[in-house]
Amino acid sequence: MRDIDLEVPDIDLKAEIKKCKTMEDVVGKDGLMQKLLGGVIQQLLEAEMEEHLGRPKYERGDDEGGKNYRNGYSQKSMKSSFGDFELDVPRDRKAEFEPKVVKKYETVCNELDKKIIALYARGMSDRDIQAEMQELYGIDVSPSMISKITDKVMESAAAWQNRPLDSVYPIVYMDAVHFKVRDDHKIVSKAAYICMALDMEGHKDILGIWVGEQEGAKFWLSVCNDLKNRGVQDILIACMDGLKGLPDAIRSVFPNVSIQSCIIHQIRNSIKYVASKDMREFMQDLKAVYQATNEDVAASELDSLDKKWGKKYEIVINSWRNNWENLSTYFAYPPEIRRIIYTTNALEGFNRQLRKFTKTRTVFPTDDSLRKSLFLATEVVMKKWTSPVQNWSMTLAQLSIMFEERIDA
């Protein structure tokens, strides 16, 4: 567009500024910003029409017979966070003019969209947002309009969920968070399957969030296939809780992956069966197992634990023995890698953030409303992930030696 000098709308700006005694007088309902915003957008529309016709407002061409020209105005009511205002949208005789600053069927300013979407990301319901807009800005925005505005997020969410991924991820974490969703007039529990990764630069990334039925190995298999379809060729180490069937599901897609079950989850599951009077002594003996210097020492300590406590807490000892293959993986790695993979706390921290954003939504009306909320919350959380994990260069050096053939130098 050619350069257009936009002037302040036809108001006495100095006089209006003098009237402003509070911030409400500036940005509130019927405030100065409301008057200025409407005027500036009006001028932008006029400038767009001039550009479209190729001449100023009152200039006529040499050959009017074949040229397009103005044909009055149509009125449009606009909503913004500074209040409602009226626009006179210029028309042309051939009806070819398509304004860009305010699109044909648009009735809400983009900056209001952003505010509403930000409130939605914080877990507020449509009606809560409606009340907030009315209280703060004196704007009456219907729940249906709020829903339409937040629905715009779905396109971005779908693009993010289907984006291409790296070919190799050194470490991934897998877990699920459960939410209540209304489904066919019933309230059911839905699982949000989450995959977090550390990439080759050591940055955390959420590879995707999949909403499905109750957590199960079959759905995890579809998650792993989706990762592969989006470009993931290899995962070095996968960390997860003790869900039965998940290790087999990921190995069927990424056969060379090393599985590490979360030690913290295993400890929590163990102490549920230990009497309070034995807790301190039992935990001291159990610590000798999971803090051992290597797997041989850990296995020996587990035997000692069994001799001392096996008769009293057989269910606990059997749980460690039955899951030992995936619990003991981290003993093969140096301390720099061990501290990253022995627990899924990194992903659990992210899950807590999601809960913070969604805690006011006890029940989501649809799967899509849950997906919108999770995507928006994820965007907010990931903005803080600007640095690699601690001591990543040393960790990567160790991984490059241990997985020499699978990591490009």
Q: What is the pLDDT of residue 396?
A: 93
Say whether both 199 and 314 belong to one domain: yes
**Residue 228: which pLDDT band, with cuts at 50, 70 and 90?**
very high
Q: Residue 6: inside a domain, yes or no?
A: no
- Structural domain that includes position 373: 159-402
Tell whether 248 and 342 lie within a shared domain: yes
pTM: 0.71
Instruction: Give tens-digit pLDDT for 94-129.
Output: 888 887 767 776 766 665 566 666 777 666 777 777
The answer, yes or no, to whether residue 4 has pLDDT greater than 50, is no
Same domain for 166 and 37, yes or no, is no
Residues 283 and 397 in one domain: yes
Look at 23 and 250; give whichever has higher pLDDT: 250
Give the residue-averaged pLDDT of 276-294: 95
| Whether the Cβ atoms of residue 375 and residue 367 lie closer than 8 Å to each other | no
Last residue within a domain, chosen from 75, 107, 139? 107
Looking at the fold, whether 199 and 89 belong to one and the same domain comes out as no
Closest-CA residue to 331 (of 400, 244, 267, 261): 261
* In a domain? residue 53: yes
H and E: helices and strands count for the chain:
18, 7
For 84-95, write each residue's pLDDT tens digit. Answer: 778 888 888 888
| Alpha-carbon gap, residue 55 to 162, rounded angstroms | 45
172 and 102 housed in the same domain: no
Report the range of poorest mean pLDDT among 52-56, 115-119, 179-183, 325-329. 115-119
Task: Answer yes or no: do 186 and 330 share one domain.
Answer: yes
- Is residue 381 domain-resident? yes
- CA quadruple 370, 371, 372, 373: dihedral, nearest 10: 50
Which of 220, 227, 166, 202 is closest to 346 using CA atoms?
Answer: 202
Residue that terminates a domain, selected from 107, 132, 149: 107
178 and 326 in one domain?
Answer: yes
